[in-house]
Amino acid sequence: MEYIAIAFGAIFVNNVILNQFYGLCPFLGVSTKKSSALSMGMAVTFVITLSTMIAFAIYNYVLVPNEITYLSTIVFILVIASFVQLVEMFIKRFSASLYSALGVYLPLITTNCAVLGVAIDITVNSNKIFETDTPTFMMVTIYALGISLGYALVIFLFSAIREEMDAYPIKRNWKGIPIALITAFIMAMIFVGFGGIV
């Protein structure tokens, strides 16, 4: 039950994009087409979930025992960058089709602040999310998975809306980013409604 609450909260209530403002650059940049949004969503899900698990392990088994938690930012970004590099190499080597789908988006993920943001949130700022200073590995994994699914969900929905919107005349100065932001505003309002469920 607790896990369901965490997952639901991560996907809908504390939606990473609409509520926490992580990963907005790719959100606005890559979400013009459904297909690319879907690929980006998948890539992000993959990277966030795994890198969060790695970050959690490093934080609790390396940084905390050695009392060097102040290095978390620098360590996490290096881990994420290397990890993304590794994933890219791995996919390139073993699956050409997957690489053609995801490959372009992987380097972008390094600078997707959702990845680093979630890693920091579940370690340094864990008490804000789990109401405990020592969340379990399971809680963290579910949270990370929920967050990234929420990311994928919103970016996909958003791209679908934007595709439709392209067919309609929009005033010049509202075209592009501004109307996208207004759309995001309405989506964010809708997601606020999920807050009442938990």
Partner 1 sequence: MKHVKIIFTLTLIVLVASMMIYFVEGFTTPYIDAYNERQANLAKLDILPDYDGSFEDVSEDYDLENSPIVKMELAGEVAVFYTIEFGGYNPGITVLVGFDLVSNNIIGFRVIEQNETAGLGSVITEEDFQTQFDNLSPDDIDSIGGTTAVVTLGGVKTALNSVADFHSVEFQGAVLETPEERIIRLKEEITEVDATFTDITSDYDISGSPISKVEMVNNGSDFAILYTVEFAGYRIQFEDETRFNEYFVSFDLDTHDLIGLRVDKQFDTAGFGDQILDPVFEAQFDNLAQDAIDDVAGVTASVTLGGLKGSLEDVVNFHKSEIEGTHVETYPEMVERYKDEITVVDAIINDDSANYDLTETMVTKVELANDGTSDVAVIYTVEFVGYNTTDVVEYIISFDLDTHDILGFRVLYQNETIGYGSLIEDDDFYIQFEDMPQLDAQNGDIDAIAGTSGAPDTTFAFKASLYDVVSFHQTEFQGMIVETDEERQSRLWSELFPTATVFTKVTRDYSAHYDVEEFYEAYDGATYLGNIYHVKAEGASYSEETYLEFFLGIAEDNTFTGVKMWDDSETDGKADPFYLVEYSDLYLGEDIETDYTIDEVAGATMTNTALQYAVLQISIYHVEEYLGLPFARPANVDTADANLLLAFPTAVTFNSVYLDYAYEANIYNLYEALDGSGTVIGYVYYGYANGLNLIEFTWGVDLSGTTQEIYIVLESETWELAETQTYTTPQYDGTAGYFPTTTWLDNFEGVTFSSLLNTEIDDIIGVSRTTESLRDVLEIIAQFHSDESVGGAG
Partner 2 sequence: MARREKTLKEIFTNGFFKQNPTFVQFLGMCPTLAVTKSVESALGMGAGVIFVLVLSNIAVSLIRNYVPREVRIPIYIVIIAALVTVLEMFMKAFVPELAKTLGTFLSLIVVNCLILGRAEAFASKNGVLKSALDGLGMAIGFTGGIVLIAIFRELLGAGSLTIWGDLRVDLIPEQYQISILVQASGAFLVFGVLVAQINKLIFSREDRNEVT
88 touches partner 2 (CB under 8 A): no
Q: Which stretch binds partner 1 (CB under 8 A): 40-48, 68-76, 87-95, 123-131?
A: 68-76
Select the residue interacting with partner 1 from 65, 70, 93, 169 (CB under 8 A): 70
Residues 6 or more apart whose CB falls under 8 angstroms from that of 35 comprise none
Look up residue 95 and give its two tokens: 């699956």
74 touches partner 1 (CB under 8 A): yes
Q: Which stretch binds partner 2 (CB under 8 A): 48-56, 77-85, 96-104, 158-166?
A: 77-85
Look up residue 115 and give its two tokens: 């990845």
Give CA–CA dist 118/139, Å, rounded: 13
25 touches partner 2 (CB under 8 A): yes
Three-point CA angle 154, 15, 80, nearest 5°:
90
Give CA–CA dist 114/17, Å, rounded: 8
116 touches partner 2 (CB under 8 A): yes
The neighbour count for residue 187, using CB atoms within 10 Å, is 17
104 touches partner 2 (CB under 8 A): no
Q: Look at residue 165 and give the partner it binds from partner 1, partner 2, none, a contact being a CB closer than 5 to 8 Å depending on partner kind.
A: none
Give CA–CA dist 35/129, Å, rounded: 32
105 touches partner 2 (CB under 8 A): no
99 touches partner 2 (CB under 8 A): no
Give CA–CA dist 131/124, Å, rounded: 13
Q: Which stretch binds partner 1 (CB under 8 A): 70-78, 91-99, 162-170, 186-194?
A: 70-78
Residues making contact with partner 1 (CB under 8 A): 70-71, 74
